[in-house]
Amino acid sequence: MVIREIEDKDIPALFSVRIATRENRMSLEELASRGVTIDTMRTVPKG
């Protein structure tokens, strides 16, 4: 198995997975109300 770092192009797909969870479910609106959006995730330092 090869594991690579997340790239900016992966972030939308991560949100799709995140909102599809059964446990600790949050909608895109709930995440946004907490400051978690595709744009803010692109600004998080990597590493």
Domain boundaries, the chain: 8-42
Instruction: Give the separation between CA 38 and CA 32, rounded to whole angstroms.
Output: 9
pLDDT at 45: 81
Q: What's the pTM value of the predicted model, to 2 decimals?
A: 0.73
Q: Which two tokens stand for residue 14?
A: 């991560």
Would you call 40 helix, strand, or coil by DSSP? helix
One digit per residue, the tens of pLDDT, for the chain of length 47 reads 999 988 999 999 999 999 999 999 999 999 999 999 999 999 988 76
